[in-house]
A and B are shown apart, each in its own frame.
Chain A
Amino acid sequence: MEIATTSTIEIPGSQARPSGWRISLVFVASVISIPVLVVVASLALPYSDIWQHLRDTVLADYIANSAALMIGVGIGTFLLGVSGAWLTAMCNFPGRRFFNWALLLPMAMPAYIIAYTYTGLLDFTGPVQTALRDYSGLGYGEYWFPEIRSVGGAICMLSLVLYPYVYLLARVAFTEQSTAVLEASRSLGKNPWQTFAQVALPLARPAIVAGVSLALMETLADYGTVDYFGVSTFTTGIFRTWYGLGELRSAAQLSALLLLFVFALVVLERWSRNKMRFHHGSAQGTPARINLPGWRGILSFCLLFSTVFFGFLLPAGQLFLWAAAHWQDTLNQAFWDLVLNSFMLAAIAALCCLALALLLGYGKRLHPGPVEVSAVRMSGMGYAVPGTVIAVGVLIPFAWFDNTLDSFLREYFDLSSGLLLSGTLGALVFAYVVRFLSVSLQSVESGLLKIKPSIDESARSLGYRPLQVLKRIHVPMLRPSLLTALLLVFVDVLKELPTTLILRPFNFNTLAVRTYELASDERLVDAAAPALAIVLIGLLPVILMTRAMIKEDPQ
């Protein structure tokens, strides 16, 4: 055990005078933290009449709906994720190796897009109900059909695309469980299913809890689905307060309240990840899989296949049919402009995130002091904060800056600077960086951890300064991690809806925004092309993870 060897090098001589690395690290972390701090600080501001009004009328709804969504999605992702993980990791049945990666496919499907697709499929004029009426001869109002646009519908949609978080973490937990523990349970007279329930599941609990909390963070961050389904939650409330009532401060206060929920989830996730360390067995070889012959194998196959089918194949197929049917109309110049806008924005944001992640990760490696460590941790908090909240947190300080500068210039120079920062691509990219920096930071940091500190030291003793070491040793060695970081942020930015909706410059459209606009106008068929483009790009990280999985499970 190498507990003592933290991968850190304290460089003497730099303790006396603060080095450039330390200053820039703390500066970047402070700037990245501004939006969240602004939102939290808004709690201390006076509460307006609108806040009173919100509190008396809709706040209870927001809390009730958000809580219902969290409970529902928690149960849904648990059932889908754990069953998939257990069957593919521990059992043997036809199609197991296919499901290893196929179960990840729904990750490519943003919740709002699957919601649009199912609405198109299941509403009154959709193919399902039409077929039902044709077949049964019943007319409007003569039969009961579940209403997709409801809390229950939103729970189904979110569970179908968010369960992979639970699946991934639970699968790792199951495969890394010590074989000896499972075999001990069998030798003490428990059958495979009792072993699962009494030993494997409790051991994997921290991983499962961590996965569910990640899925619930995404649930709280969701805007597209709940907005489309007319379910009032915090995110839709924040939008309504800002756009409908024009009250930024109340929107910020609402955001702060939402952050309370998020914070509870973050604590839960951190806590369970901590516990995961103790539950790690020393996995010695892969355990013998449980054979599921006959009807049990077929049942497992059907269960997992329906998960993949409803979570990806069906909605993706429907999008493809819609897009293909109208391809002359949809694949026009406007569509390619959207693609170009989205790609450009995502690429810029991904590059910014990568550069900052390298600065923070390497800076922390050079100076692992308490200030630096907590600064880097602060910068990584964005993954938990809903895009809506970050957008509000960006809007407030930028608007303040613009107004202050404008009135200053008017007063002293009789000039107007107008809106310098707000409503620019810069504000949007900044918000993306705040939200997704953690994604690239995670790749960079885990890559750096794999490089032994002696590598740094040997380059230093051969005469290279830290920046040269980064350029000549770390960047070349980290190339795969850096590409992963770029790709993950690129895809996340492309999918991100609420941040873009709030902060985009006037008349600037992306694939996600256009999909949302067309769907809101009930032009679901026209929305298919941009939606399908997002799904296809979203497949890239899935392919990446798939390749890693195939390497792990080669036979």
Chain B
Amino acid sequence: MTNQLELKNVRVSYGDFDAVKDVSLNLEKGQIGCLLGPSGCGKTTLLRAIAGFEAVAAGEVAISGRIVSSNKNQIPPEQRKVGMVFQDFALFPHLNIERNVGFGLAQLGRSARQSRIAELLSLVGLESSAKAFPHELSGGQQQRVALARAMAPEPDILLLDEPFSNLDSELREQLAGEVGQILRQKHITALLVTHDQQEAFAMADHISVLNAGLVAQTDTPYNLYHNPGNEFVAGFIGQGTLLNISVNALGEMQPALGQLNTEIPTAPGDMLRLLIRPDDIVYDAGSETSFEIIQKAFRGAHYLYQLKATDGQIMPCLTPSHVDLPVGAALPISFNMQHHVVFKNTRL
């Protein structure tokens, strides 16, 4: 099966600065991929290079097996069969919804065009707004028009550039789920760019975490959270803290966090970094281990405490909110980790 989208060692530069350094990536037909990363990691630049708005300095971009970008040849955007949903939606303000959606259908006959428009408007649930103008719609509705417009010409791949960031946060996750459902229903290959993990988790099958122009890890959402491949991903996905630990001859962690359970081979005396999620440390009234509370934040159902271990390292702890102790007190805790994520401590 050929890949719908194939990136081979892509580099994109602005002058001397490489915004994207070396990225390889594949998407099969019907898959929804995601480029996730902090701002400035090169994710939007990469998306624009796929769409044809930026030139690649090295490497290749292939869509449906056809090379559309290389350092020798750049096919202009209008010839790529790429649909794009923009962050600000970019609806044409002088055209009504119907004509916005029909804009990319010039090659179709009148009746074919009308039926395609009707099909898409019903897909996104906006049949009744066909004659409305963009400014008359809410943000969420505009978003769905943008999606319908990009899908109308049946592109080989759909690119979504932070499509939900202009919407209210409550609406965001709901729409991300809905859009994911529409794309799956129509078996559309799509690539989403976002900095919001919840959006990425709600929509994508595969997520590539980008950092400084390179792919840090490509994996399923579950694996990114539970098996981060490196410290960057561990720190970026979910909440967590990396603790410096060492291992003694019995395989126990120092400071006293119990027996180390990990797949990576360790030897006594190894200096390691252990990923701790807030829910890995639980309140345990009977425990002999207790750490000093240095900060606490009320979260409704929970308190998020910051604890200071005996060696001075800070770690988070999430407790039910009836566990209400003052800053400075000692919080008795126990560790609740089935599986330890550790990295070799390269900072020493």
Q: Which of A12, A454, A455, A462 has the largest count of B CB atoms less than 10 A from its CB?
A: A462
Q: Which one of A15, A457, A462 lies within 8 Å of B53 (CB-CB)?
A: A457
- Does B172 touch A at the CB level, under 8 Å? no
> Once the chains are docked, how many angstroms separate the CA of A12 from the CA of B72?
11
Tell whether, in the assembled complex, residue B90 and residue A476 are in contact, meaning their CB atoms are under 8 Å apart.
no
- Given known pairs A454-B90, A455-B90, the reply for A461 and B82 (CB within 8 Å) is yes
Smallest Cβ distance from A76 to chain B, in angstroms? 44
Contacts of B104 in A (CB 8 A): 462-463
Tell whether, in the assembled complex, residue A452 and residue B76 are in contact, meaning their CB atoms are under 8 Å apart.
no
Tell whether, in the assembled complex, residue A477 and residue B93 are in contact, meaning their CB atoms are under 8 Å apart.
yes
Contacts of A11 in B (CB 8 A): 53, 76-77
Contacts of A454 in B (CB 8 A): 86-88, 90
Smallest Cβ distance from B91 to chain A, in angstroms? 8
> Once the chains are docked, how many angstroms separate the CA of A458 from the CA of B146?
9
The interface bits of chain B over 224-238 (1 if a CB of A lies within 8 angstroms of the residue's CB, else 0) are: 000000000000000
Q: Which one of B55, B69, B77 lies within 8 Å of A15 (CB-CB)?
A: B55
Contacts of A9 in B (CB 8 A): 53
Tell whether, in the assembled complex, residue B92 and residue A455 are in contact, meaning their CB atoms are under 8 Å apart.
yes
Smallest Cβ distance from A65 to chain B, in angstroms? 51
Tell whether, in the assembled complex, residue B84 and residue A457 are in contact, meaning their CB atoms are under 8 Å apart.
yes
Tell whether, in the assembled complex, residue B86 and residue A462 are in contact, meaning their CB atoms are under 8 Å apart.
no
Tell whether, in the assembled complex, residue A12 and residue B55 are in contact, meaning their CB atoms are under 8 Å apart.
yes
Tell whether, in the assembled complex, residue B88 and residue A452 are in contact, meaning their CB atoms are under 8 Å apart.
yes
Q: Is the interface of B mostly helix, strand, loop or mixed?
A: loop
Q: What residue of chain A has the Cβ atom nearest to residue B73's Cβ?
A: A13
Smallest Cβ distance from B330 to chain A, in angstroms? 47
Contacts of A15 in B (CB 8 A): 55
- Does A465 touch B at the CB level, under 8 Å? yes
Q: What residue of chain B has the Cβ atom nearest to residue A13's Cβ?
A: B74
Tell whether, in the assembled complex, residue B55 and residue A13 are in contact, meaning their CB atoms are under 8 Å apart.
yes
Smallest Cβ distance from B30 to chain A, in angstroms? 21
- Does A464 touch B at the CB level, under 8 Å? yes
Smallest Cβ distance from A502 to chain B, in angstroms? 43
- Given known pairs A13-B73, A454-B86, the reply for A461 and B54 (CB within 8 Å) is no
Contacts of B103 in A (CB 8 A): 459, 462
- Does A55 touch B at the CB level, under 8 Å? no
Smallest Cβ distance from B125 to chain A, in angstroms? 21
- Does A473 touch B at the CB level, under 8 Å? yes
> Once the chains are docked, how many angstroms separate the CA of A478 from the CA of B113?
27
Within 8 A of A (CB), among B64-98: 69, 73-80, 82-84, 86-88, 90, 92-94
Smallest Cβ distance from B162 to chain A, in angstroms? 11
- Does B341 touch A at the CB level, under 8 Å? no
Tell whether, in the assembled complex, residue A457 and residue B76 are in contact, meaning their CB atoms are under 8 Å apart.
no
- Does A10 touch B at the CB level, under 8 Å? yes
Tell whether, in the assembled complex, residue B78 and residue A461 are in contact, meaning their CB atoms are under 8 Å apart.
yes
- Given known pairs A457-B84, A460-B78, the reply for A452 and B90 (CB within 8 Å) is yes
> Once the chains are docked, how many angstroms separate the CA of A477 from the CA of B86?
19
The interface bits of chain A over 439-481 (1 if a CB of B lies within 8 angstroms of the residue's CB, else 0) are: 0000000000000101101111111110000000100110000
- Does B153 touch A at the CB level, under 8 Å? yes
Tell whether, in the assembled complex, residue B92 and residue A461 are in contact, meaning their CB atoms are under 8 Å apart.
no
> Once the chains are docked, how many angstroms separate the CA of A542 from the CA of B244?
73
Contacts of B78 in A (CB 8 A): 460-465
The interface bits of chain B over 194-208 (1 if a CB of A lies within 8 angstroms of the residue's CB, else 0) are: 000000000000000
Within 8 A of A (CB), among B216-265: none
Q: What residue of chain A has the Cβ atom nearest to residue B77's Cβ?
A: A460
- Does B213 touch A at the CB level, under 8 Å? no
Smallest Cβ distance from A454 to chain B, in angstroms? 4
Smallest Cβ distance from A452 to chain B, in angstroms? 6
Tell whether, in the assembled complex, residue B153 and residue A463 are in contact, meaning their CB atoms are under 8 Å apart.
yes
The interface bits of chain A over 9-38 (1 if a CB of B lies within 8 angstroms of the residue's CB, else 0) are: 111111100000000000000000000000
Smallest Cβ distance from B60 to chain A, in angstroms? 14
Q: What residue of chain B has the Cβ atom nearest to residue A451's Cβ?
A: B93
- Does B274 touch A at the CB level, under 8 Å? no
Tell whether, in the assembled complex, residue A461 and residue B55 are in contact, meaning their CB atoms are under 8 Å apart.
no
> Once the chains are docked, how many angstroms separate the CA of A183 from the CA of B14?
45
The interface bits of chain B over 107-130 (1 if a CB of A lies within 8 angstroms of the residue's CB, else 0) are: 100000000000000000000000
> Once the chains are docked, how many angstroms separate the CA of A9 from the CA of B51?
12
> Once the chains are docked, how many angstroms separate the CA of A452 from the CA of B88?
9
Q: What residue of chain B has the Cβ atom nearest to residue A469's Cβ?
A: B78
Tell whether, in the assembled complex, residue B149 and residue A462 are in contact, meaning their CB atoms are under 8 Å apart.
yes
> Once the chains are docked, how many angstroms separate the CA of A9 from the CA of B55?
11
Q: What residue of chain B has the Cβ atom nearest to residue A463's Cβ?
A: B78
- Does B301 touch A at the CB level, under 8 Å? no
> Once the chains are docked, how many angstroms separate the CA of A457 from the CA of B106?
17
Q: Which one of A10, A455, A458 lies within 8 Å of B54 (CB-CB)?
A: A10
- Given known pairs A463-B153, A476-B94, the reply for A458 and B52 (CB within 8 Å) is no
Q: Which one of B51, B92, B94 lies within 8 Å of A457 (CB-CB)?
A: B51
Tell whether, in the assembled complex, residue A12 and residue B84 are in contact, meaning their CB atoms are under 8 Å apart.
no
- Given known pairs A9-B53, A12-B55, the reply for A461 and B77 (CB within 8 Å) is yes
> Once the chains are docked, how many angstroms separate the CA of A418 from the CA of B82?
59
Q: Which of A12, A13, A452, A460 has the largest count of B CB atoms less than 10 A from its CB?
A: A12
Contacts of A460 in B (CB 8 A): 52-53, 76-78
Smallest Cβ distance from A453 to chain B, in angstroms? 9
Q: What residue of chain A has the Cβ atom nearest to residue B51's Cβ?
A: A461
Q: What residue of chain A has the Cβ atom nearest to residue B76's Cβ?
A: A13
Sample of 27 A–B contacts (CB below 8 Å): A9-B53, A10-B54, A10-B55, A11-B53, A12-B53, A12-B74, A12-B76, A14-B76, A15-B55, A454-B86, A454-B87, A454-B88, A457-B77, A457-B84, A458-B84, A458-B86, A459-B92, A460-B52, A460-B53, A460-B76, A461-B83, A462-B78, A462-B150, A463-B78, A463-B104, A463-B106, A465-B76
Extra contacts, 14 of them, besides A454-B86, A457-B51, A464-B78 (Cβ < 8 A), are A12-B69, A12-B74, A13-B74, A13-B75, A458-B84, A458-B146, A458-B149, A459-B92, A461-B83, A462-B83, A462-B103, A462-B149, A465-B76, A477-B92
A-B pairs, top 7 by smallest CB distance, nearest first, are: A462-B104, A12-B74, A12-B55, A454-B90, A13-B74, A454-B86, A458-B90
B residues bordering A, Cβ < 8 Å? 51-55, 69, 73-80, 82-84, 86-88, 90, 92-94, 103-104, 106-107, 146, 149-150, 153
